[in-house]
Amino acid sequence: MAVKKKTTVGSSGKAFIASTFNNTLISITTDKGDVLSWGSSGASGFKGTRKSTPFAASSAAETAVKKAVEKGLKAVDVYVRGPGSGRDAALRAIKNGGLSILSIADITPIPHNGPRAKKKRRI
């Protein structure tokens, strides 16, 4: 069995929130980009349509923040990606979990008219 190397954690890091219509993923990394902790709505025990709720996103963020704070993290730069409903709830959970937010950036990819879009969905 391999011995886990103890990562040295500075006081600041980065938090990435990927919020889709079906799930919310939160990764908390060091400044270099090494992942300290992560959480998702599905890993928090939510299934189906409840995974896409703001409550599921906040509980996923709480678990990720708790693990990161135990490792010594104090402040994060937050990067939000995607159109989902869990964006704001995850931000609130990071703030309430004990991490101070240094900056918030929206890095949602926006095409500058790239390839042809899929045909419109008919319901």
Q: Are 46 and 57 in contact (CB under 8 A)?
A: no
Question: What pLDDT tens digit does each residue of the chain (123 aa) get?
Answer: 677 767 678 899 999 999 999 999 999 999 999 999 999 999 999 999 999 999 999 999 999 999 999 999 999 999 999 999 999 999 999 999 999 999 999 999 998 999 998 999 898
| Residue 29, CA distances (Å) to 2, 47, 65, 91 in order | 22, 26, 11, 15
Domains of the chain, first to last: 12-106 (3.30.420.80)
Neighbours of 15 (CB within 10 A): 27
pTM for the model stands at 0.88
